[in-house]
């Protein structure tokens, strides 16, 4: 063989071999189907769920409000999202330390949707051997017809995933109307097509390749494993030496292990690995090899669990430790974050008050010696319904609160109201130039919320109190103005 020929045979990448997993229905696979069907159902019904006439989940980007379990959150509360992300991360760490890659095999969206696409495939193309035979056939009528039907149904699934994804942002009824009237914007068309294409490609076509080459979790999760982490393992002691068992065993021949080397566990594996070679990063802990091997063992009248959930310590007969330092550490951080999150959500007040002082002038002196300070209050109703609020001020000196809008205001859900108010007080020589004053906004109806914010009342120094103000008069508007809650005034709140 010439040098050129030898070089031509060296490939840098392993050729992709299509995997034809066995269809299994019993054992762990039954429970997996129940869990995965539940997750799919939650995903699909999520956008349609309502609570007291309001959506349960709605990521309303244009109005910048996010409804989660019927409670509306605003961009200012995005800190809660970071809490949630931290909780999810540490929750996943704990699950990984305890149960290995159970997330991958039982709840990961890639696994869930791959099973949905696979379900359609096996319904149309048949069991493993028929699927393999079909792919070896020429493109005759039967193969073309089955493939076209499969791809069409896959496209339907992909579209339903995309539609539901968009419905979390746009509301399903609005989305249906927009699709029927072809009035989606270009961006909306993109977001209706992109998740569909991604889902079709990743879960329908690429499947295990996504876990091998694209998922970062598959690569770093092994650092969280310890010797007590639950893994799927082949009982080598019992299974080896593997080999076919003759019907009439030779009494003189050495006794083999329980593994009959039928390779059913390999054929069942959606990632195409042989678990008998030991723990591998491609294993997504789906437990299909356990079910496949159990079926074989039952047929042979042997004990099941030749492949089973185990751990390195258990395999070696060593003491299994439940409370490990790593687990305790993750659990402690998780509990601390959870407590903080629950406390923050529990003490959340869906009412906001910002006080913006008149920046053009600190105070204004009246002819009778009284001093006027001007403020602009921004009250935000972060609830799902209209609310009436009572507005008042508190200070340790006598004053008069003036506002053209009255002391009771009504604000629509998700709206904010900006009100100009004046505090008028008589300057007293002994009073400080800068005194605290509190504005209080209180709901009139139940549930009851109160927000109290501090500001300052400024009066001239005693040396200059007899001299009229030389600052320009910029009488603020006392007329209220309404804006959506997500938009804020350009002035700095004080
Ligand atoms: S080795 Fe077993 S548990 Fe791991 S991916 Fe394959 S079938 Fe699933
Ligand atoms: S299914 Fe069980 S008996 Fe068959 S090869 Fe796998 S481990 Fe051996």
What angle is formed at CA 451 by the lines to CA 448 and CA 453, rounded to 5 degrees?
A: 170
Output the pLDDT for position 7.
54
Ramachandran sector of residue 397 (left: φ over 0; alpha: ψ -120 to 50; beta: rest): beta
Helix axes 109-125, 27-45, angle to 10 degrees: 110
266 in helix, strand or coil? helix
Note whether 163 and 124 are same-domain residues: yes
Q: Which range, of 7-21, 234-248, 287-301, averages the lowest pLDDT?
A: 7-21
Distance of alpha carbon 316 from alpha carbon 323, whole angstroms: 19
**Exposure on the CB side of residue 433, measured as CA atoms within 13 A:** 8
Q: Is residue 3 part of a domain?
A: no
* Token digits of residue 383: 């609830």
CATH classification of the domain holding 426: 2.60.40.10
Average pLDDT on 114-134 reads 95
For ligand 2, mutation pick of 265, 276, 278 (most atoms within 8 Å of CB):
265
Euclidean distance between CA atoms 25 and 216, whole angstroms: 30
End-to-end CA distance of the chain: 83
Claim to verify: residue 344 and residue 382 sit in the same structural domain: no
Phi then psi for residue 374, to 5 deg, are -115, 140
User: Is the CB of 287 within 6 Å of ligand 1?
Assistant: yes
Which 3 state secondary structure label does DSSP give 338? helix
CB 440 within 8 A of CB 450: yes
pLDDT at position 237 over 80 = yes
Q: Is 10 among the domain residues? A: no
Q: Which range among 66-75, 107-116, 189-198 shows the weakest confidence by mean pLDDT?
A: 66-75
Q: Could you read off the pLDDT of 171-195 as tens digits, one per residue?
A: 899 999 999 999 999 989 999 999 9
Question: Are residues 188 and 126 part of one domain?
Answer: yes
Asked, for residue 492, whether it belongs to a domain, the answer is no
Q: Is 325 in the same domain as 365?
A: no
Ligand 2 centroid vs 260 CA: distance in angstroms?
A: 6
Q: Is 22 near ligand 2, meaning CB less than 6 Å away?
A: no
Ligand 2, atom 7: closest residue by C-alpha: 259
- My answer on whether 185 and 71 are in the same domain is yes
Q: Is residue 2 part of a domain?
A: no
Whether 194 and 117 map to the same domain: the answer is yes
Please check whether residue 278 lies inside any domain of the structure.
yes
CB of residue 167 inside a 6 A radius of ligand 2: no
Is 88 exposed, middle or buried (CB count within 10 Å of its CB: 0-12, 13-18, 19+)?
Answer: exposed
Q: What per-residue confidence (pLDDT) applies to 350?
A: 85
Domain containing 368: what range? 351-466+474-484
**Would you say the CB of residue 102 lies under 6 angstroms from ligand 1?**
no
Average pLDDT score over the chain: 85
Q: What are phi and psi of 417, to 5 degrees?
A: -130, 125
Residue with CA nearest ligand 1 atom 2: 289
Asked if 402 and 312 sit in the same domain, the reply is no
Determine whether the shortest distance from the Cβ of 275 to ligand 1 is under 6 A: yes
Is it true that the peptide bond before 241 is cis, omega within 30 degrees of 0?
Answer: yes
- Closest ligand 2 atom to residue 264 Cα is 1
Residue 226's CB is within 10 A of a number of other CB atoms, namely 16
- Shortest-distance atom of ligand 2 to CA 258: 3
Nearest to 348 by CA among 81, 80, 83, 88: 80
Residues 429-453, mean pLDDT to the nearest whole number: 85
| Nearest ligand for residue 268 CA | 1
**Does 264 contact ligand 2 (Cβ within 6 A)?**
yes
pLDDT at 10 over 80: no
Q: At which of 348, 376, 404 does a domain end?
A: 348
Is 376 a pocket residue for ligand 2 (Cβ < 6 Å)? no
CA 118 from chain centre, in angstroms, equals: 25
Q: Which atom of ligand 2 is nearest to the CA of 242?
A: 8
Written as one string, the DSSP assignment of 194-211 is: HHHHHHIIIIIIITHHHH
- Rg (C-alpha) for the chain, rounded Å, is 34
Q: Whose CA is nearest to atom 3 of ligand 2?
A: 259
Nearest alpha carbon, ligand 1 atom 8: 286
- Domain match, 396 and 443 both: yes
Residues 161 and 304 in one domain: yes
Least confident span in 89-93, 276-280, 327-331, 355-359: 355-359
Report pLDDT digits (tens) over 260-315.
999 999 999 999 999 999 888 889 999 999 999 999 999 998 999 999 999 888 88
> Is pTM beyond 0.85 here?
no
189 and 97, same domain (yes or no): yes
Q: Is the pLDDT of residue 218 over 90?
A: no
Q: Examine the fold and report which residue of 348, 363, 397 is the final residue of a domain before the chain moves on.
A: 348
Token readout for 355 is 């006080």
Q: Which residue did the predictor score with more confidence, 465 or 409?
A: 409
Structural domain count of the chain: 2
DSSP secondary structure string for all residues of 15-44? PP----PPP--SHHHHHHHHHHHHHHHHHH
Q: Going by CA atoms, what residue is nearest to atom 2 of ligand 2?
A: 293
Q: Is residue 162 included in any domain, yes or no? A: yes
**How remote is the CA of residue 79 from the centroid of ligand 1, in Å?**
38
262 pocket-lining for ligand 2 (C-beta < 6 Å): yes
- The strand ranges marked E within 347-462 are 351-357, 364-365, 370-381, 387-394, 400-402, 408-411, 415-426, 434-443, 450-458
In a 13 Å sphere around the CA of 452, the CA atoms on its Cβ side amount to 7
Return the minimum-mean-pLDDT range out of 314-323, 460-469, 482-491: 482-491
Cα 355 to Cα 109, 399, 452, 457: the distances in Å are: 46, 18, 10, 12
């Amino acid at each position: 063989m010439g040098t050129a020929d030898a070089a031509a045979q060296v490939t840098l990448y392993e050729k992709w071999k299509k995997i034809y997993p066995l269809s299994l229905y019993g054992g762990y696979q039954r429970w997996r189907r129940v869990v995965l069907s539940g997750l799919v159902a939650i995903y699909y019904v999520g956008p349609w769920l309502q609570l007291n006439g309001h959506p349960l989940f709605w990521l309303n980007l244009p109005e910048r409000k996010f409804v989660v379990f019927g409670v509306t959150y605003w961009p200012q509360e995005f800190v809660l999202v970071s809490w949630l992300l931290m909780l999810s991360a540490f929750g996943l760490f704990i699950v990984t330390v305890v149960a290995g890659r159970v997330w991958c095999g039982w709840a990961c969206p890639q696994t869930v949707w791959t099973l949905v696409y696979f379900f359609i495939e096996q319904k149309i193309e048949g069991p493993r051997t028929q699927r393999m035979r079909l792919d070896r056939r020429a493109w005759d009528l039967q193969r073309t017809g089955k493939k076209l039907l499969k791809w069409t149904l896959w496209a339907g699934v992909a579209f339903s995933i995309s539609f539901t994804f968009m419905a979390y942002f746009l509301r399903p009824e609005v989305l249906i109307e927009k699709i029927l009237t072809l009035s989606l914007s270009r961006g909306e068309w993109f977001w209706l097509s992109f998740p569909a294409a991604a889902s079709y490609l990743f879960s329908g076509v690429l499947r295990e390749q996504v876990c091998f080459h694209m998922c970062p979790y598959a690569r770093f999760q092994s650092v969280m494993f310890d010797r007590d982490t639950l893994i799927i393992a082949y009982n080598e002691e019992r299974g080896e030496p593997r080999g076919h068992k003759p019907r009439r065993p030779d009494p003189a021949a050495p006794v083999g292990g329980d593994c009959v080397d039928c390779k059913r566990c390999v054929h069942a594996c959606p990632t195409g690995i042989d678990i008998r070679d030991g723990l591998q990063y491609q294993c997504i802990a789906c437990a299909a090899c356990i079910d496949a091997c159990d079926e074989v063992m039952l047929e042979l009248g042997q004990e099941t669990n030749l492949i089973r959930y185990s751990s390195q310590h258990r395999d070696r007969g060593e003491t299994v430790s439940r409370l490990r330092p790593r687990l305790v550490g993750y659990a402690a951080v998780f509990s601390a974050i959870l407590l903080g999150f629950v406390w923050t959500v529990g003490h959340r007040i869906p009412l906001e008050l910002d006080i913006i002082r008149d920046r053009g002038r600190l105070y204004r002196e009246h002819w009778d010696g009284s001093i006027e300070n001007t403020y602009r209050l921004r009250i935000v109703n972060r609830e799902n319904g209209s609310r009436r609020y009572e507005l008042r001020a508190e200070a340790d000196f006598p004053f008069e609160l003036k506002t053209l809008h009255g002391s009771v205001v009504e604000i629509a859900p998700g709206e904010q109201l900006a009100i100009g108010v004046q505090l008028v007080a008589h300057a007293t020589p002994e009073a400080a130039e800068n005194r605290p004053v509190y504005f209080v906004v209180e709901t009139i109806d139940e549930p009851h919320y109160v927000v109290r914010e501090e500001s300052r009342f400024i009066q001239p120094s005693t040396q200059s109190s007899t001299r009229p103000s030389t600052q320009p008069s910029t009488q603020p508007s006392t007329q209220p103005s309404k804006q959506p809650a997500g938009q804020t005034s350009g002035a700095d709140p004080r």
